[in-house]
Amino acid sequence: MNDVVNLSLPSKPEYVSVARLTASFVANKMGFDIEAIEDIKLAVGEACNNAVLHSGSHDTYNLEFIRNDLTLVIEIKDFGAGFNYNNYVEPKLEEPQENGLGLFIIKSLMDNVSIETGEGHGTKIIMSKIIE
């Protein structure tokens, strides 16, 4: 049986650390090394920041941490505005920018990332990492 941890957090920046701490706890229990745990915390923090900052005025968003043998799957779902992912352009690293890095960071740090979103439909980002 997979262990599953579910969290519902207020859509406020000060609670993002609860998500990061939970990610850290689950990843540590699974046996990820410190570097991987830092990557997972960063990716989770970026996804939560997006849920809090971009999703609109909804009160809460949900996280699910699924411990699946050697793979940690994390789903972060908000009930906000969603966005048109077809219009998303990856940042160009040769042109330094301060914003627009979150999704790129998540994709760089995690082994697998998928995004289900649409304008008016909320956003669900599913990311996973496998223990080396």
Ligand X SMILES: Nc1ncnc2c1ncn2[C@@H]1O[C@H](COP(=O)(O)OP(=O)(O)OP(=O)(O)O)[C@@H](O)[C@H]1O
Q: Which of 40, 48, 50, 109 binds ligand X (CB under 6 A)?
A: 50
Q: Is 102 in the site for Mg ion (CB under 5 A)?
A: yes
**Min dist. Cβ of residue 96 to ligand X (A):** 12
Which segment (17-25, 28-36, 37-45, 48-56) binds ligand X by CB under 6 A?
48-56
Q: Which of 16, 36, 42, 50 binds Mg ion (CB under 5 A)?
A: 50
Q: Is 103 in the site for ligand X (CB under 6 A)?
A: yes
Rule CB under 6 A: which of 56-85 touch ligand X?
A: 78, 80-83
Helix (H), strand (E), coil (C) string for the chain: CCEEEEEEEECCHHHHHHHHHHHHHHHHHHCCCHHHHHHHHHHHHHHHHHHHHHCCCCCEEEEEEEEECCEEEEEEEECCCCCCHHHCCCCCCCCCCCCCCHHHHHHHHCCEEEEEECCCCCEEEEEEEECC
Binding site for ligand X (CB under 6 A): 46, 50-51, 54-55, 78, 80-83, 88, 99-104, 123
Binding site for Mg ion (CB under 5 A): 50, 102
